[in-house]
A and B are shown apart, each in its own frame.
Chain A
Amino acid sequence: MNPFLKSIFSTSFLFSVLRVATPIIFPALGVAISALSGSINIALEGIMLVSAFTGVIVSAFTQNLWIALFSAILAGVFIASILGYFSLKLKADIILAAIALNLFSSSITVFLLYIIAHDKGVSSSLKSLVFPSVKFAFLEKIPILGGIFNNQNILVYIAFLSVFVYYLIVFHTPLGLKIRAVGQNPEAASSVGVDVVKIKLYALILSGVFGALGGVYLSMGYVSWFGRDMTAGRGFIAIAASSIGGNLPLGTFFGSLLFGVVYALTNFLAPLNIPSEIIQVIPYIVTIIVLTFYSARVSKEKEVGEE
């Protein structure tokens, strides 16, 4: 077999796909749940950054993973709530408010990092914690699957679990029903007594929780430090992943995996002299095509419905 195909079908390749897809799965779920309620949340970038930062700082000072995780989630929810407050109560446009919050998050984290650790680049001078990897005894015996799924960071498994939790919330809880109702037709939802503003706020808060988990994974699992703007556009890529998947649980999951494959590929292709830019650009083009087809179909359905 040629070395290129061999490396793609190796377990270590698929192992790294899951590793790099995780920080996209979380925010993609966040984008998806707010999209279902009818808001486009482009603030996941900021939410992740603030949570990644909070996790590192709090764990360095308390040496307690749980307190760090809890604070990071609170921080993510805080940013999401500000977005909700400004867009829903103060009637700011949600896109513009999110752009402001991304700028805020990017600046405040570097600002505080400098104040606390006297470094504007990375937090490596702080003794922050990381989440452990997990070894499952039963997976060890299975040849290929074991190599792919075993020994991942615990947050990778939590990402899988979150896809399921997302499914449960959206399709099997009254809140999920209301979120979908508000997203599809706010006037109708409001006429049957649903508080549209409140439901949209809840969806944004949930989106903050998912985003926060993504941020925590980045700085306390994927790597062991906080770095300036370390999200590197993953909050925006998450929008692509959830649009590819039509905001559905499995769709969003596979959309995120697609980006995981591409990232892992660029790492594996580096020695093979194929321009990595050409590989890296593919998922964005795929997103544009999928988004266009999807929108064309939806708008056509609407027109047919109107007739």
Chain B
Amino acid sequence: MEKFVLKYFNLLRTIIAILIGFAISVLILVIVSTSSIESIKYLFLGPFMSVSRIGNIIELATPIIFCGIAIAIPFQASQFNVGAEGTFFISAAFGTAFALIIQKLNLPGFIYIVLVLTFATLFGGFWGFIPGYLKARFKANMVVLTLMLNYVAYFLSIYLINYHFRDKSAGFLTSYRLPENVFLKQFIPNTRIHIGFLIAIASVFIAYYFLYHTTLGYEIRMVGFNFNFAKYSGINVFKVIVLSSVIGGSFAGLGGMAEVMGIHRRFLWQSLPGYGWDGVVVAIIGKNNPILIMFASLFLAYLRIGGQVLNLLSDVPFEMVGVIESIIILLITAEAFLENVKYRITVKEAEKEAFKNESLS
């Protein structure tokens, strides 16, 4: 038992943090809701009550998975690049512009789609290159850089859409509609689950393979694990910092464009949609491991949809979910949370071992 606990300590700690989050949400619902039993049911079971809601979970998880990977790759190198928010946005804006421009070429659907997605991916990589290079070359602070770049991305995108691709027949700020042959098909009836979800799953495995089975992935993790050791053992730290940022950015870019082509079919965001921050949340819950991030994204989407059902059918506002999320993240990031339990178990194990050795000798 003790050995099991030590082996899976991190996973158990995450689960305990989530359970504490759930316990607090039940407590809040008991206090504020007039029909708490109903509300608890809506929050936890609501997301599974119909096909379209299960669909909602997957639809919402799709952009979060992309941003989670985008955040995790630089985080693995201990680079606090929080630029996924802006990269997602600006790649979607420029990708939309690109798709509208090459519309006239009348390309066959498949080639058109691949071309637009590739463009957005490259654009995301380019946008990720900026903070990566400034950090690696000038040692500028990554968090501050990427926070500022998110604003730059936002204003440039709004400018691009507002002044050059704005559909004036619509009553609000939005781009022209994309042509139908560049849509990512929604393939399950009664839901909006689209091909982008499959691309997200593929990205998870590509990112996993990249991080754990390639030299560059190993170097990225090494730099994150011990910067000085990595440096003195001959790893090109400059390259790692720049490339982790570029590769992270390209996943965010791909995700942004897939969201436009799969769900909205036009660029209609007027403020940053927040998927980049969700990406940080799932990267934390998933410990920067792409496969765990996929599950964390589905979990986060499940929580959010539960919050929406709660909001719709009871007297409790949606924002309760944010409170729970933040408590879960705080507990997971606290390295010392439950550390004393681990310590005690370790000591116990060691004593047992020592006792065994003594009795043998």
> Residues on A close to B: CB < 8 A?
40, 42, 82, 86, 89-93, 95-97, 99-101, 103-104, 106-108, 110-111, 114-115, 120, 233, 236, 239-240, 243, 275, 277-278, 280-281, 284-285, 287-288, 291-296, 298-299
Contacts and interface: CB of A to CB of B under 8 A. Distances in A.
B144 A40 contact: yes
A42 B329 CA distance: 16
Contacts of A92: 330, 333-335
A236 B335 CA distance: 26
Given A82-B330, A277-B156, A280-B155, 16 more contacts: A40-B141, A40-B143, A86-B330, A90-B336, A95-B80, A100-B327, A114-B317, A120-B317, A236-B148, A239-B147, A287-B144, A288-B140, A291-B140, A292-B134, A292-B140, A293-B138
A96 B333 contact: yes
A103 B320 CA distance: 11
Contacts of B320: 107, 111
B103 interface: no
Nearest to A82: B330
B120 interface: no
Interface stretch (B158-166, B176-184, B195-203, B342-350): B158-166
A55 B114 CA distance: 53
Contacts of A295: 138-141
A277 B335 contact: no
Contacts of A240: 144, 147-148
A100 B329 contact: yes
B58 interface: no
11 contacts: A95-B143, A96-B333, A97-B330, A97-B334, A104-B323, A107-B321, A114-B317, A114-B319, A277-B158, A281-B155, A284-B151
B280 interface: yes
SS class, residues of chain B in contact with chain A: helix
B325 interface: yes
Contact of A285 (B152, B280, B325, B334): B152
- Give the size category of B's interface with A: 35 or more
Which has the most chain A C-beta neighbours within 10 Å: B143, B159, B326?
A: B326
B335 A90 contact: yes
Contact of A281 (B152, B163, B330): B152
B249 to A, nearest CB: 16
A104 B337 CA distance: 19
Contacts, number: 142
SS class, residues of chain A in contact with chain B: helix
Contacts of B360: none
A240 B334 CA distance: 27
A96 to B, nearest CB: 4
A43 to B, nearest CB: 11
A295 B138 CA distance: 6
Contacts of B317: 110-111, 114-115, 120
B151 A281 contact: yes
A82 B329 CA distance: 13
Nearest to B321: A107
Contacts of A284: 148-149, 151-152, 155
Given A86-B330, A86-B333, A91-B336, A288 B149 contact: yes
Contacts of B337: 90
Contact of A103 (B158, B163, B322): B322
Contact of A292 (B138, B158, B327): B138
Nearest to A108: B323
Contact of A93 (B163, B319, B323, B333): B333
B32 interface: yes
A232 B341 CA distance: 41
Given A92-B335, A97-B333, A103-B277, A239 B80 contact: no
B287 to A, nearest CB: 12
Contacts of A100: 326-327, 329-330, 333
A52 to B, nearest CB: 16
A114 B329 CA distance: 24
B284 A96 contact: yes
The 4 closest A-B pairs by CB, nearest first: A107-B322, A104-B326, A90-B334, A91-B335
Which has the most chain A C-beta neighbours within 10 Å: B32, B147, B330?
A: B330
B145 interface: yes
Interface string B54-91: 00000000000000000000000000101000000000
Given A275-B159, A281-B152, A42 B143 contact: yes
A281 B159 CA distance: 10
A294 B134 CA distance: 12
Nearest to A106: B322
A75 to B, nearest CB: 15
Nearest to B140: A295
A277 B336 contact: no
Contacts of A278: 155, 159
Contact of A107 (B134, B139, B319): B319
Contacts of A233: 151
A95 B155 CA distance: 25
Contact of B329 (A103, A239, A281, A287): A103
Contacts of B280: 96, 99
B334 A86 contact: yes
A303 B76 CA distance: 27
A91 B337 CA distance: 9
Contacts of B80: 95
